[in-house]
Amino acid sequence: MAWWPQQLLGAAAVAAWLLLLAGLAVQVRQRWNGQREWSRKLVHIGTGVVVLIAWGCGIDRLVAIPAAGTITLLAALNHRLRILPAVEDVGRPSYGTVAYGASITALLTMDWPHHPAVVAAGVLVMALGDGLAGLIGPLVKSPSWSVMGQRKSVVGTGAMAAGSLGALLLVQHLAQVQGLPSPALPALLATAAIATALEQVALLGIDNLTVPITTGWLWQLWSSGS
C-alpha cells in the first residue's frame, strides 16, 4: 500500500474511534450524571486502543507525533474551557487528561515506530490499570488509605495491578507475534508492581505521566536483556 493512502486510512480509523469515544462519554454522562468519573474513565481506557490502531495501521511518526501533540493541546484547552465536561469534570483539581496526552506524545517521540511495543506497554498499562482502578475502586467497599490527599483502596489497587499485568501480557503477545523482543514474565510482574506503586502518587493526575513513561522505559530495558 502506498504511504499516503495508508496514513490517511490509519488517521481516519483513529479519528473515528476518538469521535465514537467522545459520543459514548456524553451518553454515559447524561445517563449516569451522578457518576462523573465513569465518562472520564471510559475515555481514559478507550484512548489506549488508539496505540493499537496506530500500530496495526502502520502510522508513521510524521503523522502520529503531531496528531498526539494536537490532541494533548485540545485536552489542555478542554481542561481550561470545559467544552466537553464529560471528559474533564470530575469535581477535583486534576491535570490527568493533559498529562496522559503528554506522556503518549513523549513515548511516540522517543520510540515510534521502531519500538511500538514500548509505546503500547506504557499507554495500555495506564489505560487499563488506572482506568479499572478508577472504576472498580469506588464501587466496591474495601480498606482504604490516603496518599497526598488522594483516596486509595485495596480493591482499586488490586484492579490497577491486575489491569497493568493484563495489558503487559497483551503487548507481550502482540510483540511475540511480530517477532519483536519482549520482557519475560518475572519482568512483567515487576513492571506491573512498579506501575501500581507509582499510581499511588496521583496528586493532580501526575501518575498519568509517571506510570506510562516509566513502564515504557522498563519494557525497553528488560526487553534488551531478554
pLDDT at 94: 63
pLDDT at 183: 97
pLDDT at 150: 83
Q: Count of CB atoms within 10 A of residue 33's CB?
A: 10
Alpha-carbon separation of residue 69 from 5, 78, 93 (angstroms): 22, 14, 22
pLDDT at 71: 86
pLDDT at 30: 84
pLDDT at 22: 86
Output the pTM of the full model. Answer: 0.90
pLDDT at 187: 97
The residue type found at 43 is V
| Grid-cell match 495491578, residue found | 161
Burial 137-163 (b: 16+ CB within 10 A, else e): bbeeeeeeeeeeebebbebbbbbbbbb
d(CA 111, CA 161): 25
The residue type found at 86 is A
CA atoms within 13 A of residue 54's CA, in its CB half-sphere:
27
Q: Say if residues 89 and 82 touch (Cβ distance below 8 Å).
A: yes
pLDDT at 86: 52
pLDDT at 85: 60
Task: Write out residues in the chain with pLDDT < 70, as ranges.
Answer: 1, 34, 79-94, 225-226
d(CA 171, CA 23): 27
Q: 190: Cβ–Cβ under 8 A, 6 or more apart, which residues?
A: 218, 222
Burial of 226 (0-12, 13-18, 19+ CB in 10 A): exposed
pLDDT at 34: 66
pLDDT at 111: 95
pLDDT at 6: 87
pLDDT, tens only, 127-143: 999 999 988 998 899 99
d(CA 39, CA 65): 26
Helix axes 116-124, 154-177, angle to 10 degrees: 160
The dihedral of CA 179, 123, 215, 111: what is its sign?
A: positive
Of 129, 128, 130, 115, the closest CA to residue 55 belongs to 115
